[in-house]
Amino acid sequence: MSDIYSYSVELPKRSIPLSDYKNKSILFVNVASKCGLTPQYKDLQALQDAHADSLQIIGFPSNQFKAQEPGTDDEILNFCQVNYGVTFPIAKKGDVNGPETQPLWKALKKDAGVEEIDWNFSKFLLKPDGTLTWFPARTTKVVSTVWNVAGCKCKVADPPGRRRGQALSGRRRAQLRRLVGRCKSEASV
C-alpha cells in the first residue's frame, strides 16, 4: 500500500499536504464541468457541509473523457463556485489515466486495484483507518457514499425518477442532513 498521506495536492495557487487530513476521511473525485454528471457538484458540496468535521472532499478536474473539462484552472474554479457554491479544494487540471496520470491518482488506482478510471466523477474514499474504496462513476451516486463516510447502517432509497447525476432537491438534501445527524449519533454510541 502507498502512503497516500505523503502526497500533496496541487491547487491553482497553493499546495495542500494530504497529511493535513490524516484524522478525516478524504473523498477524491475526478470532476468535469461539461458532463451530464456535473450536477453532482451540488451533492458533493452538501456532503462536505454535512461532514465538515470528519470529511474532506477534493475535486480533480480532468479533460480525458470526451474533453468535458476544457477550461483553465481559474475558469474551472470560478465555474464550481458560481454555479454550485463549491468550497472544497479543486486541484489543478490533470490526467487520471494514461502515461501522464498524476502521481496521487496512480497510487489511488494501484492501492484500490483499479486499472482505469471509467468516467468523470469516479470517487475514491480514504478513511482514517487506511481503508480505500473505489466508487465507479456510472454506478455510484453521491448519496450512496454517505453510508461509507458516516460508517453507519442507515438506508434511504433514491427517489423514483431521479436520473444518474441529477442534483438532489432541497428536500432530499435536508433528508440527507438529518440522516447524517442520525448516523453521527449512532457512531458515538
pTM of the model: 0.78
C-beta neighbour count of 86 within 10 angstroms: 21
Q: What pairing do the DSSP bridges indicate for beta strands 132-135 and 123-126?
A: antiparallel
User: Measured between alpha carbons, how far is 117 from 28 in angstroms, rounded to an integer?
Assistant: 12
User: Measured between alpha carbons, how far is 43 from 142 in angstroms, rounded to an integer?
Assistant: 6
* pLDDT number for residue 127: 87
Name 97's Cβ contacts closer than 8 Å, sequence gap at least 6.
64, 116, 117
| Rounded alpha-carbon distances, angstroms, from residue 21 to 4, 27, 86, 93, 136 | 11, 11, 19, 21, 23
Name 161's Cβ contacts closer than 8 Å, sequence gap at least 6.
none
Name the DSSP class of 90. B
User: Measured between alpha carbons, how far is 29 from 182 in angstroms, rounded to an integer?
Assistant: 25
* pLDDT number for residue 183: 47
Query: Does residue 35 have an active-site annotation?
Result: yes
Name 112's Cβ contacts closer than 8 Å, sequence gap at least 6.
124, 132, 133, 134
Q: Looking at 35, 80, 152, 183, which residue is catalytic?
A: 35
* pLDDT number for residue 51: 85
Contact present, 46 and 15 (Cβ < 8 Å): no
What are the chain's domains?
4-188 (3.40.30.10)
pLDDT tens digits for the chain (189 residues)? Answer: 679 999 999 999 999 999 999 999 999 999 999 999 999 999 899 889 988 898 999 999 999 999 999 999 999 999 999 999 999 999 999 999 999 999 999 999 999 999 999 999 999 989 888 888 887 776 566 655 555 555 543 333 343 344 444 455 565 556 555 555 544 444 443
* pLDDT number for residue 86: 98
User: Measured between alpha carbons, how far is 90 from 59 in angstroms, rounded to an integer?
Assistant: 5
* pLDDT number for residue 166: 44
User: Measured between alpha carbons, how far is 151 from 36 in angstroms, rounded to an integer?
Assistant: 29
* pLDDT number for residue 134: 82
